[in-house]
């Protein structure tokens, strides 16, 4: 019987424990989307994670969805990330980068006036995006033409190459939360006809083309994929989340990926359901669960074989030494939500470790 503290072979990576750090957007890069020394300090503080999955990172210029999120499309960005990976490795940690295209969540005010792209011309509603001019409604995206899709795949591939040069241990493809690849996957956002719309096979095509391009750079055993079949964040919905989960799990099996990372529920709880049982039934490799697990629940899920590892988001943000705290059954620091996305070290690198608390 395994627990959170048993090592785990994940593709080519040997993880010392199964307490992973989930990717967390923190907006501490600079205005040119270059990672900063502060980010190196933050990630190095969290090096005791079984694996750090670094935050969503722009694969192509002109696709910013947040202010000050990092990129990996330029030489300067790759150099900034190299300082991050060096700092994590110096503390004995391992870190993969989450490769991301924001799709319709991007905003012209963040991108020199450029209209965002998406599978279909359907905007995100009921929420607003932070821009240099304050909060603004999302705009209606432009429908990508089929002949533009190879350019998107090439963007992910170049970003994967840059991530390798930056010293990461692998990459995770961001297929979740209503960003470009997820927009293609789920039928609420994808009303296309042709090779990238309609059937699940067609809607998953872009995600799988991206995976294959990234695998050609890294090898499948250093590539993970994250999906969120139930999350309604960013106006997302699908008519059959279980079918989507099963199809992706089968496709990932065929490719021998390092891991599949599944967000089990919905940020707002609007959509209910169980995608973890079908994910476990279909997927033969390392299954990582995420979203609201307590340490106890995570341990039980691993002991029962339901999951192989759990990614913790908010608890890791507020507790740089989360594995030690879980091991000691110590109290956790409370997260400061007002500083999740604010600039500077406050609420970022100033959460105390146990020894300092
Ligand atoms: C994501 O990148 O998936 C993401 C980022 C920020 C959020 C939620 C999701 O608040």
Is the minimum distance from the CB of 176 to ligand 1 under 6 angstroms? Answer: yes
Taking the centre of ligand 1 as the mean of its atom positions, its distance from the CA of residue 25, in whole angstroms, is 6
Residue 289 has pLDDT above 80, yes or no: yes
pLDDT tens across 216-248, in order? 999 999 999 999 999 999 999 999 999 999 999
Mean pLDDT calculated for residue range 101-127: 97
Nearest CA to ligand 1 atom 2: 56
Asked whether the predicted pLDDT for residue 158 surpasses 80, the reply is: yes
Q: Of all residues in the chain, what percent carry a pLDDT higher than 70?
A: 99
Distance CA 100, CA 328 (A): 35
22, 23, 24, 25: which to mutate for ligand 1, most atoms within 8 A of CB? Answer: 25
DSSP string for residues in 155-194 = HHHHHHHHHHHTT-SEEEEEE-TTSHHHHHHSTTT----S
Residues 323 and 171: their CA atoms lie apart, in Å, by 22
Q: What's the gap in Å between 177 CA and the centre of ligand 1?
A: 7
Dihedrals phi, psi of 139, to nearest 5 degrees: -105, 165
218-254 burial, b for 16+ CB within 10 Å, e for fewer?
Answer: bebbbbbbbbbbbbbbbbbbbeebbebbbbbbebbee
Query: How far apart are the C-alpha atoms of 194 and 342, rounded to whole Å?
Result: 42
Give the pLDDT score at 269: 95
Tell me how far apart the alpha carbons of residues 11 and 199 are, in angstroms, rounded to a whole number.
30
Atom of ligand 1 nearest to the CA of 55: 2
Compute the distance from residue 285 Cα to the ligand 1 centre, in Å.
25
Do strands 142-143 and 117-118 pair parallel, antiparallel, or not at all (unpaired)?
A: parallel
- Report, as an integer, the average pLDDT of 295-310: 98
Question: Which residue, by CA, sits nearest to atom 3 of ligand 1?
Answer: 177
Residue ranges of domains in the chain, CATH in brackets? 3-356 (3.20.20.70)
Please, what is the Cα angle at 119 between 122 and 143, to 5 degrees? 70
Which of 24, 233, 265 to mutate for ligand 1's pocket (most ligand atoms within 8 Å of CB)? 233
**What are the φ/ψ torsions at residue 287 (nearest 5 degrees)?**
-100, 125
Residues 6 or more apart whose Cβ sits within 8 Å of residue 33: 58, 64, 68, 69, 70, 71, 74, 77
38-95: per-residue pLDDT in tens? 999 999 999 999 999 999 999 999 999 998 999 999 999 999 999 999 999 999 999 9
The pLDDT of residue 2: 84
Going from the Cα of 64 to the center of ligand 1, the distance in angstroms, rounded, reads: 12
Report whether 174 contacts 226 (CB < 8 A).
Answer: yes
Q: Which residues contact 50 (CB under 8 A, 6 or more apart)?
A: 8, 15, 16, 17, 18, 19, 20, 309, 323
- Residues identified as active-site: 179
Q: Whose CA is nearest to atom 10 of ligand 1?
A: 25
- Write down the mean pLDDT value for the chain: 97
**Gap between the Cα atoms of 133 and 80, Å rounded:** 27
**Nearest CA, atom 9, ligand 1:** 177
177 ligand 1 Cβ < 6 A: yes
Give every CB contact of residue 78 below 8 A, 6+ residues apart in sequence.
72, 162, 163, 165, 166
For a ligand 1 pocket test, name from 26, 27, 56 the mutation site with the most ligand atoms within 8 angstroms of its C-beta: 56
């Amino acid at each position: 019987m395994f627990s959170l503290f048993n090592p785990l072979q994940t593709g080519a990576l040997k993880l010392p424990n199964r307490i992973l750090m989930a990717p967390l957007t923190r907006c501490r890069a600079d205005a040119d989307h270059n990672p900063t020394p502060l980010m190196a300090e933050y990630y190095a503080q969290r090096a005791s994670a079984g694996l750090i999955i670094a935050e969503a990172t722009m694969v192509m210029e002109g696709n910013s969805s947040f202010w000050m999120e990092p990129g990996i499309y330029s030489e300067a960005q790759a150099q900034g990330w190299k300082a991050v990976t060096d700092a994590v490795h110096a503390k004995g940690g391992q870190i993969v980068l989450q490769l991301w295209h924001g799709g319709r969540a991007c905003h012209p005010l963040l991108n020199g006036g450029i209209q965002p792209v998406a599978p279909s011309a359907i905007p995100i509603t009921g929420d607003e995006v932070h821009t240099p001019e304050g909060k603004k409604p999302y705009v209606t995206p432009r429908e990508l033409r089929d002949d533009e899709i190879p350019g998107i795949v090439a963007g992910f591939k170049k970003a994967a190459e840059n991530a390798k040069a930056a010293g990461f241990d692998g990459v995770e493809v961001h297929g979740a939360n209503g960003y470009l690849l997820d927009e293609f996957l789920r039928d609420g956002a994808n009303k296309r006809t042709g090779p990238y719309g309609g059937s699940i096979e067609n809607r998953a095509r872009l995600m799988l083309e991206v995976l294959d391009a990234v695998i050609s750079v890294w090898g499948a055993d250093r590539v993970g994929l994250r999906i969120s079949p139930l999350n309604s964040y960013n106006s997302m919905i699908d008519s059959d989340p279980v079918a989507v989960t099963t199809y992706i799990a089968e496709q990932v099996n065929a490719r021998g990926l390092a891991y599949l990372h599944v967000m089990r529920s919905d940020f707002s709880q609007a959509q209910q359901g169980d995608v973890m049982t079908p994910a476990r039934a279909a997927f033969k490799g390392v299954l990582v669960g995420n979203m609201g697990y307590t340490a106890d629940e995570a341990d039980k899920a691993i002991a029962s074989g339901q999951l192989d590892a759990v990614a913790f988001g908010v608890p890791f943000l507020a507790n740089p030494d989360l594995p030690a705290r879980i091991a000691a059954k110590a109290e956790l620091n409370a997260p400061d939500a007002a500083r999740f996305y604010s600039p500077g070290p406050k609420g970022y690198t100033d959460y105390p470790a146990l020894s300092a608390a």
